[in-house]
């Protein structure tokens, strides 16, 4: 994986000193909270309902065991001994003291980490396919491109005060595991005439106006990707709406002027930008790519897995994904224990996963947008040992992509934007569907909960989505069906009137019962919904 | 004009700036002020007669002026480029990089703080101004 050179390290060290000075000016009263706010936000420090929250960047979701252990250290030393992995492949700490924040950033900098690009109206931390580099179906590793974009977008002076935040995602396979088309810019690496380039989508997003991003460019060569994306950003910075923060994302600009007009403006700007010498040389991407060279995979390994322990066999069937190298497997570690808080992990659990990554997965870990952790390259012969250690730490839930593998935002338990709580509802759903056999019978069902219209819990992209709203002072939940963040991206549709917390759990049960009754061979919940439509579900729920 | 912080060798311009609209019709005007939302490229045909372009920041969070500044510098404008309005000390580095070389902040800024802010980072990741040597260039000679 990528390692800083002296330039990268100097920039992050400078940021630590910079923020220490800004915090000092705030604490001494030299700066007002209003003036400090945008500065702390650029360092990922939010003021939530009860305390400051610090969001730490995990670029494209990849990190080393040492970095993972630092995340545990921060949870232990500065927070309440746990952290929360987010839908942006980052981690956040919910109980931070302002005066500790500079020390936390200093600790992070010792392991090449930071909180840059985790907040503010700038280009945010770049996300990517969590199986990058090891997936059997990708045309190239998307992480070198993501790292190139990370460096380009870090402290970009022209794009520090965009109309709104800006999220970029890079994938490299037809199967979309990262909700790429629901990003402000989505990049899919494709191969044309044997050359890898970028297919670019723009104007996707969730929030109160969800849109699946349209394609704006079929192919951009690697030596021109920076100038192309810079042109996309300049057009957005100049013409994105600033009169209403709810209409300020690029998706509104693209849909108001039309994708053809946006594309035309970008092409015009790009033609100009290509003359400025702003594209790094091909050698830079090659330098970065060398950091992502394969680890020392062994050859001649067996693909056999001893399935004689039935609990282990179930876990393998659920959590283990095909690796592109024979004898190896991709392991998903569920952070969704029954009745738990999606994405939360204690410092002891984080340490344990880090140890497993170090010992069994070439010192590498991934965070997924579904709030789980991945050990990307585990020898099949080691799977049983890994499973036993996970099970001993309460981390061996076998529910990947099942109904209890719930994505949920922090909701009203923490977030000052939320209208309703997400966590207790996700716990109730998880408990209702706890029976492993029942979950497996229902099969793949992506359930996503947001506590407000901002959609951090990706409810629009859930096969079942839940949106918490405030209905005359009480928490109310709307149910949506038919969304998908995958390569068959679609937006969920509201089923009907909302429910209270228990009501929505009952409604989901009625819907899954209808699905079990109606499904045809091989159909997922989403497929059955798409085939029979919303009406039978309405009747089952409200009839 | 006492409050103008300038990074130019020549004296800060005293010329009153006219609006973009009236500039087009006044062939003797040499100073113009761009408001957010106005197209900096409208000035490109007349860059030769300009000695001062002011870019107004009514609110610090409106970043359109950064693009306006860069567009003017990319087109070869070498006259004074002044950020006016809600300009904060922590923004001056980004503004300098986009091409601003003088500042008329609404609230006075301590020059020592400006100096410290400008020296906060050792390098840059992007080539934004023609004179900048980004990290990728340092790496590859």
What pLDDT digit, counting tens, does each position of A213-230 carry?
Answer: 999 999 999 999 999 999
Confidence of residue A124 (pLDDT cuts 50, 70, 90): very high
A244-273 pLDDT, tens digit per residue, is: 999 999 999 999 999 999 999 999 999 999
pLDDT score, position B1: 47
Q: A450: closest CA among A171, A214, A210?
A: A210
CA distances from A528 to A80, A433, A514, A537, B121 (A): 43, 20, 10, 11, 55
Angstrom CA distances, A145 to A240, A245, B96, stand at 26, 30, 28
Residue A237 to residue B66, Cβ atoms within 8 A: yes
* Cβ–Cβ below 8 Å for A38 and B61: yes
**% of chain A beyond a pLDDT of 70:** 100
- pLDDT exceeds cutoff 70 at B2: no
Mutation pick from A157, A166, A253, A269 vs chain B, by most beta carbons of B within 10 Å, is A157
User: Is the pLDDT at A330 greater than 80, yes or no?
Assistant: yes
Calculate how close chain B gets to A39, using CA atoms only, in Å: 8
Name the residue with higher pLDDT: B54 or A34: B54
Q: What is the pLDDT of residue A35?
A: 82
Residue A161 with chain B: CB contacts under 8 Å = 60-63, 66
Mean pLDDT (whole number) for A361-390: 98
Tell me which residue of B139, B129, B26, B134 sits closest to B78, measured CA to CA: B129
Nearest CA to CA, how far is B68 from chain A (Å)? 8
CB of A260 within 8 Å of any CB in chain B? no
CA nearest B118 in A: which residue? A18
Q: Which residue of B has its CA nearest to A285?
A: B136
- Tell me if chain B has a CB within 8 Å of the CB of A11: yes
Average pLDDT for A314-339: 97
A17–B120 C-beta distance less than 8 A: yes
pLDDT tens digits along B12-38: 888 899 999 998 888 789 999 999 999
DSSP single-letter state for residue A100 = G
Nearest CA in chain B to A284: B136
Strand, helix or coil at A363? coil
Hey, of A10, A38, A158, which one would you mutate to test binding to chain B, going by the most B CBs within 10 A of its CB?
Answer: A158
Q: Is A30 on the interface with B (CB under 8 A)?
A: no
How many A/B residue pairs have CB atoms within 8 Å? 98
Q: Which residues of B touch A11 (CB under 8 A)?
A: 121-123, 125, 135
Q: With bands split at pLDDT 50, 70 and 90, how would you rate the model's confidence at A34?
A: confident
Q: Residue A444 pLDDT > 70, yes or no?
A: yes
Whole-angstrom distance, CA of residue A232 vs CA of residue A500:
43
Helix A501-518 vs helix A423-432: crossing angle, to nearest 10: 40
A11–B95 CB contact, under 8 Å: no
Tokens representing A266 are: 């970008």
Q: How far is A129 from chain B (nearest CA, A)?
A: 24
| Chain B contact present for A157, CB below 8 A | yes
**Residue B116: its chain A contacts at CB < 8 A?**
21
Work out the pLDDT band at A141, boundaries 50, 70, 90. Answer: very high
Task: Determine how β-strand A373-379 pairs with β-strand A328-333.
Answer: antiparallel
Q: Do A7 and B123 touch (CB under 8 A)?
A: yes
- Binary contact (A283, B140; C-beta < 8 A): yes
Instruction: Report chain A residues whose CB lies below 8 A from the CB of B130.
Output: 276
Mean pLDDT of chain A: 96
| Angle A89-A95-A97 from CA coordinates, rounded to 5° | 115
Q: Write out the residues of chain B at the interface with chain A, using a CB-CB cutoff of 8 A.
A: 36, 60-64, 66-67, 70, 74, 88, 90-91, 93-95, 97-98, 116, 120-128, 130, 134-136, 138-140
Q: Could you tell me the pLDDT band of residue A41, with boundaries at 50, 70 and 90?
A: confident
Contacts of B98 in chain A (CB under 8 A): 157-158
Identify the three-state secondary structure at position B115: helix
Evaluate if residue A338 carries a pLDDT over 60.
yes
Cα separation, A338 vs A403, in Å, equals 11
Nearest alpha carbon to residue A486 among A463, A510, A509, A519: A463
Give dist(CA A26, CA A30) in Å, integer.
Answer: 6
If DSSP codes are grouped into helix, strand and coil, which group holds residue B106? coil
Torsion of CA A516, A521, A523, A527, to 10 degrees: -100
Per CB-CB distance under 8 Å, the chain A contacts of B66 are 157-161, 237
Report which of B120, B133, B66, B135 is spatially closest to residue A148, judged by C-alpha positions. B135
What pLDDT digit, counting tens, does each position of B59-96 carry? 999 999 999 999 999 999 999 999 999 999 989 999 99
**ipTM higher than 0.95?**
yes
Shortest Cα–Cα distance, A249 to chain B (Å): 14
- Look at residue A511 and tell me whether its pLDDT is greater than 80: yes
**pLDDT band at residue A42 under the 50/70/90 scheme:** confident
3-state secondary structure A226-289: HHHHHHHHHHHHHHCCCCCHHHCCHHHHHHHHCHHHHHHHHHHHHHHHHHHCCCCCHHHHHHHH
pLDDT beyond 80 at A523: yes
Residue of chain B with shortest Cα separation from A37: B61
Bridge partner list, A196: A191
């Amino acid at each position: 994986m990528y390692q800083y050179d002296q330039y990268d390290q100097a920039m992050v060290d400078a940021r630590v000193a910079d923020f220490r000075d800004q915090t000092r000016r705030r604490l001494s009263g030299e700066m007002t909270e209003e003036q400090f706010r945008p500065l702390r936000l650029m360092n990922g420090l939010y003021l939530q309902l009860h305390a400051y929250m610090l969001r730490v960047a995990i670029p494209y979701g990849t990190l080393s065991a040492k970095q993972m252990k630092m995340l545990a250290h921060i949870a232990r030393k500065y927070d309440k001994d746990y952290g929360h992995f987010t839908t942006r492949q980052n981690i956040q700490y919910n109980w931070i003291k302002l005066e500790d924040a500079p020390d936390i950033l200093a600790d992070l900098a010792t392991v090449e980490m930071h909180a840059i690009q985790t907040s503010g109206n700038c280009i945010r931390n770049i996300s990517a396919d969590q199986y990058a580099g090891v997936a059997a179906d990708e045309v190239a590793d998307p992480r070198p491109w993501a790292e190139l974009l990370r460096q380009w977008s870090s402290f970009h002076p022209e794009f520090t005060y965009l109309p709104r935040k800006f999220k970029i995602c890079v994938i490299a396979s037809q199967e979309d595991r990262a909700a790429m088309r629901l990003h402000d810019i989505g990049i899919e690496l494709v191969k044309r005439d044997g050359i890898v380039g970028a297919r670019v989508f723009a104007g996707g997003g969730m929030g109160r106006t969800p849109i699946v991003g349209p394609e704006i460019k079929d192919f951009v060569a690697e030596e021109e990707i920076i100038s192309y994306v810079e042109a996309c950003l300049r057009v957005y910075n100049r013409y994105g709406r600033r009169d209403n923060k709810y209409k300020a994302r690029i998706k509104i600009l693209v849909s108001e002027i039309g994708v053809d007009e946006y594309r035309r403006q970008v092409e015009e700007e790009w033609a100009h930008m290509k003359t400025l010498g702003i594209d790094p040389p091909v050698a830079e991407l090659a330098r970065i790519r060398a950091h992502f060279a394969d680890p020392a995979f062994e050859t001649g390994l067996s693909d056999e897995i001893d399935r004689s322990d039935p609990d282990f066999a179930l876990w393998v069937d659920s959590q283990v994904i095909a690796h592109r190298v024979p004898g190896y497997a991709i392991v998903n570690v569920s952070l969704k224990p029954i009745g738990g808080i999606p994405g939360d992990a204690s410092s002891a659990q984080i340490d344990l996963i880090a140890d497993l990554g170090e010992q069994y997965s070439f010192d590498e870990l991934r965070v997924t947008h579904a709030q789980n952790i991945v050990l990307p390259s585990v020898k099949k012969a080691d799977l049983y040992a890994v499973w036993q250690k996970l099970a001993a730490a309460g981390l061996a839930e076998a529910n990947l992509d099942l109904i209890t593998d719930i994505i949920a935002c922090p909701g009203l338990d923490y977030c000052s934007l939320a209208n309703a709580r997400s966590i207790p509802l996700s716990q109730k759903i998880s408990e209702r569907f706890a029976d492993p056999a029942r979950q497996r019978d229902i099969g793949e069902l992506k359930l996503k909960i947001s506590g407000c219209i901002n959609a951090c819990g990706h409810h629009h992209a859930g096969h079942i989505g839940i949106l918490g709203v405030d209905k005359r002072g009480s928490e109310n939940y709307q149910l949506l069906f038919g969304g998908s963040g995958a390569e068959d991206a679609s937006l969920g549709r509201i089923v009907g009137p909302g429910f209270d917390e228990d009501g929505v759990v009952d409604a989901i049960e009625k819907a899954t019962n209808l699905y079990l009754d109606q499904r045809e061979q091989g159909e997922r919940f989403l497929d059955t919904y798409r085939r029979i439509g919303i009406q039978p579900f309405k009747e089952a729920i409200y009839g | 004009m006492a409050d103008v912080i300038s990074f130019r060798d020549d004296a800060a311009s005293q010329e009153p700036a006219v609006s973009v609209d009236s500039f087009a019709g006044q062939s003797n005007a040499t100073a113009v002020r761009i408001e957010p939302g106005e197209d900096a490229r409208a000035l490109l045909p007349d860059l030769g007669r300009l000695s001062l372009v002011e870019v107004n920041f009514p609110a610090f969070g409106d970043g359109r002026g950064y693009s306006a500044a860069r567009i003017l510098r990319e087109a070869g404008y070498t006259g004074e480029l002044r950020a006016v309005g809600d300009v904060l000390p922590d923004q001056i580095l980004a503004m300098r990089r986009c091409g601003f070389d003088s500042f008329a902040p609404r609230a006075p800024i301590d020059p020592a703080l400006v100096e410290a802010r400008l020296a906060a980072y050792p390098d840059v990741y992007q080539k934004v101004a023609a004179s900048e040597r980004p990290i990728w260039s340092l790496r590859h000679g």
